[in-house]
Structure 1
């Protein structure tokens, strides 16, 4: 297979790479992946290194493969997968997957990018109180920065299930939640505050393909303030297309929350139209 991704043909549907976030596995994308495949796209949903195609229960039982893995190794992992595709894909990422999407955009690997409730790159220190609270299980113990801390059901409810009852959230935790990559979280927070590190991107890169940032009004992890700060930084730094879309009443789990179809369809329509324009 050709190891260098090229531009899609004018009439071809570009493949789509979906990147999950921290505490999740590729299963979190089941909704969007099925919908995009039904629309005729090839959809690739790789797991982070250490997760791969393992079930959430298996990862929770033995999370040792997640320990000591940092952001650079994860981004390199996705770059290898993308360069093995015959054409450049649309890249979409959720949460920390949205930060990974921006780092892949900095490497010029896609024809369009969508960050769904994306983490911020280095140099955007916006940190609302609710965001800070979501990181306390990890940040409270700096001596375990290379560990893989489990996510309690209580914290999962605050982070992902704040539109659900506790019982509904607990069921979702069992189906989807996994341990953290502590190093990734420390690197993300450090980069946002210090303005440098592995999460740094070239905000002014003129040839970057179009980027869409989506946020939800009830998101405790990446509230609209973070999404707006990301877009403002990109727009102030260079001419590449960066757009913003906010959905009232949506939580951090907007890829599967009731009404997810509206967001998925908008993201796909936006990405395909901009990908064709880029090509």
Structure 2
């Protein structure tokens, strides 16, 4: 099978350049790899921090439409690798047959997923504590980042990742995901019954506070009515930072192995 391009999709609070090591690794292995940002994302972390209003009020549908345009400009449908809300977006695009395969790492909950563990509520409290944040871009403090992303790391590494990669994030996707099960037209809906879609790998971090393993396992159950391939992979000792911390390569190599096994 010809090697398709691969797109890396970031989630909330991380800049697209946080995928740089993954892009380099996949490129070295023969892939055409890139990490386009969300709508409004500036080119650098510094610019994003300096201009948070450019990031504000973009919802899930906006992000899906943005990436659909990126995909339309490619010569062939890509493989998508998404983290957190990027993992949710990857699932939506795969369900709409805009990708040939997807890997969703610690993906934000899709419509139909019911568990909302207390750690997830605490991780997202910086957004939900003020309803006006639906239309704003919200930043984390280093302490909040350590709980939400770096809880499986030592404080020094977590703080270094915070300084290097974090940017303000739009609050709107979190409000949309929180109300998904009460909204029949929720943008967090995914066509989990699509039997003709490409393969999907759901990756869970066993120590993740923001998207606990229970959420990823509940997401897996949403695909039970589809005969398309849906696989599950667990990294027992990893938190939400697993795509950017010292162990990122383990997750990346597992992703490459899975893609090879699926014929790519």
Range into which the TM-score falls when normalised by the shorter chain: over 0.9
Identify the range of structure 1 (262-271 vs 109-118) with the bigger mean alpha-carbon deviation. Answer: 262-271
| Aligned-partner Cα distance in 1 for 2:155–2:242 | 18
Q: Which residue of 1 aligns with 2:36?
A: 46
Q: Which residue of 1 aligns with 2:231?
A: 243
Instruction: Name structure 1 gaps, 5 residues minimum.
Output: 1-9
Alignment partner of 2:138: what SS? Answer: coil
Asked if the contact 2:42/2:48 (under 8 Å) is kept, the reply is no
| Aligned-partner Cα distance in 1 for 2:10–2:111 | 20
Instruction: Name structure 2 gaps, 5 residues minimum.
Output: none
Q: Which residue of 2 aligns with 1:224?
A: 213
| Aligned-partner Cα distance in 1 for 2:93–2:5 | 15
Q: Which residue of 1 aligns with 2:101?
A: 112
Cα displacement (A) at 1:193: 5.8
Cα displacement (A) at 1:258: 2.4
| Aligned-partner Cα distance in 2 for 1:47–1:156 | 20
| Aligned-partner Cα distance in 2 for 1:263–1:46 | 20
| Aligned-partner Cα distance in 1 for 2:49–2:151 | 22
| Aligned-partner Cα distance in 2 for 1:149–1:256 | 21
Q: Which residue of 1 aligns with 2:179?
A: 190
Q: Which residue of 2 aligns with 1:253?
A: 241
| Aligned-partner Cα distance in 2 for 1:192–1:133 | 20
Cα displacement (A) at 1:196: 4.6
Q: CA RMSD in A?
A: 1.5
Asked if the contact 1:212/1:242 (under 8 Å) is kept, the reply is yes
> How many correspondences in the alignment?
264
Cα displacement (A) at 1:257: 2.4
Q: Which residue of 2 aligns with 1:203?
A: 192
1:1-279 aligned within 5 A? 10=1, 12-53=2-43, 55-192=44-181, 194=183, 196-235=185-224, 237-276=225-264
TM-score under structure 1 length normalisation: 0.90
Cα displacement (A) at 1:121: 1.1
Identify the range of structure 1 (194-203 vs 173-182) with the bigger mean alpha-carbon deviation. Answer: 194-203
Alignment partner of 1:214: what SS? Answer: strand
Runs of 4+ displaced beyond 6 Å: none
Cα displacement (A) at 1:43: 0.3
